[in-house]
Amino acid sequence: MNHLERLRTLDADARLVQRIGAVLAWDQETYMPPAAIEERGDQIAFIEALAHDRQTSPEIGEHLAVLGSTVERPEGDPTLPPLDRAYLRVMRRAYDQATRIPTELVAEMAKATSLSQAAWAKARETNDFGAFAPHLSKMVEFNKRIAACLDPSKPPYDVLLDRFEEGATEAGVKAVFTPLRDDLVQLMDKIRARPQVDDAFLHAACPADKQAKASEYLLAALSFDRDRGRMDTTAHPFTTTLGRDDVRITTRYVEDYFPSSAFSTIHECGHALYELGIDPAPEYRRTGLADASSMAVHESQSRMWENMVGRSRGFWAKHLPEFQRMLAPVLDGVDLNAFYKAVNRVEPSLIRTEADEVTYGLHIILRFELESDLVAGRLAVADVPAAWNERMQRLLGVTPPNDAKGCLQDIHWSMGAIGYFPSYALGNLYAAQLWDAMKAQGLDPVAAVDKGDLASILAWLRDKVHKPGASMKPEDLLRSATGSGLDPSHFVRYLNHKYGEVYGF
Please tell me the distance from the alpha carbon of residue 231 to that of residue 219, in angstroms, as a whole number. 9
Give the pLDDT confidence score for residue 28 in this predicted structure. 95
Tell me: the pLDDT tens digits for 65-122?
999 999 999 999 999 999 999 999 999 999 999 999 999 999 999 999 999 999 999 9
Tell me: the pLDDT tens digits for 437-484?
999 999 999 999 999 999 999 999 999 999 999 999 999 999 999 999
Give the pLDDT confidence score for residue 347 in this predicted structure. 95
- Helix H or strand E encompassing 182: helix 170-192
Give the pLDDT confidence score for residue 235 in this predicted structure. 83
| Class of domain 170-503 as given by CATH | mainly alpha
Peptide bond into 82 cis (omega under 30): no
Cβ count near 223 (within 10 Å): 12
Please tell me the distance from the alpha carbon of residue 250 to that of residue 125, in angstroms, as a whole number. 18
The stretch 112-133 carries a mean pLDDT of: 96
Give the pLDDT confidence score for residue 236 in this predicted structure. 83
Cβ count near 153 (within 10 Å): 5
The sheet carrying 239-243 orders its strands as 229-233, 246-251, 239-243
Collapsing DSSP to helix, strand or coil, 372 comes out as helix
Please tell me the distance from the alpha carbon of residue 443 to that of residue 451, in angstroms, as a whole number. 12
Tell me: the pLDDT tens digits for 397-421?
999 999 999 999 999 999 999 999 9
Reply yes or no on whether the pLDDT at 55 is more than 80.
yes
Please tell me the distance from the alpha carbon of residue 112 to that of residue 415, in angstroms, as a whole number. 9
Please tell me the distance from the alpha carbon of residue 213 to that of residue 260, in angstroms, as a whole number. 14
Hey, what amino acid is at 140?
V
- The conformational region for residue 292 under phi > 0 = left, psi -120 to 50 = alpha, else beta, is beta
Length of the chain: 505
Percent of the chain with pLDDT over 90: 99
Reply yes or no on whether the pLDDT at 135 is more than 80.
yes
Q: What Cα–Cα distance (Å) separates residue 64 from each residue in 2, 90, 91, 100, 345? A: 12, 11, 8, 16, 53
Give the pLDDT confidence score for residue 466 in this predicted structure. 98
The stretch 190-199 carries a mean pLDDT of: 96
Hey, what amino acid is at 397?
G
Tell me: the pLDDT tens digits for 282-295?
999 999 999 999 99
Reply yes or no on whether the pLDDT at 131 is more than 90.
yes
Please tell me the distance from the alpha carbon of residue 330 to that of residue 328, in angstroms, as a whole number. 5
Please tell me the distance from the alpha carbon of residue 470 to that of residue 294, in angstroms, as a whole number. 8
Collapsing DSSP to helix, strand or coil, 393 comes out as helix
Mean pLDDT of the chain: 96
Q: What angle do CA 203, 207, 210 make, to 5 degrees?
A: 110
Dihedral of the alpha carbons of 249, 24, 245, 276, in degrees to the nearest 10: 40
Collapsing DSSP to helix, strand or coil, 378 comes out as coil
Cβ-proximal residues to 472 (8 Å cutoff; 6+ apart), any chain: 86, 293, 480
Active site residues: 268
Reply yes or no on whether the pLDDT at 228 is more than 70.
yes
Give the pLDDT confidence score for residue 343 in this predicted structure. 97
Reply yes or no on whether the pLDDT at 495 is more than 90.
yes
The stretch 277-285 carries a mean pLDDT of: 96
**Closest CA relative to residue 280, chosen from 293, 262, 297, 296:** 293
What is the Cα 152 distance to its own chain's centre? 27
Q: Are 361 and 427 in contact (CB under 8 A)?
A: no
Q: Are 427 and 296 in contact (CB under 8 A)?
A: yes
Give the pLDDT confidence score for residue 1 in this predicted structure. 62
Tell me: the pLDDT tens digits for 235-252?
889 999 999 999 999 999
Tell me: the pLDDT tens digits for 298-348?
999 999 999 999 999 999 999 999 999 999 999 999 999 999 999 999 999
| Predicted model pTM | 0.92
What is the Cα 423 distance to its own chain's centre? 7
Q: What Cα–Cα distance (Å) separates residue 384 from each residue in 137, 320, 366, 377? A: 11, 41, 12, 12
DSSP per-residue letters across 251-285? E---TT-THHHHHHHHHHHHHHHHHHH--S-GGGT
Sorted by where each begins, the domain ranges of the chain are 3-153, 170-503
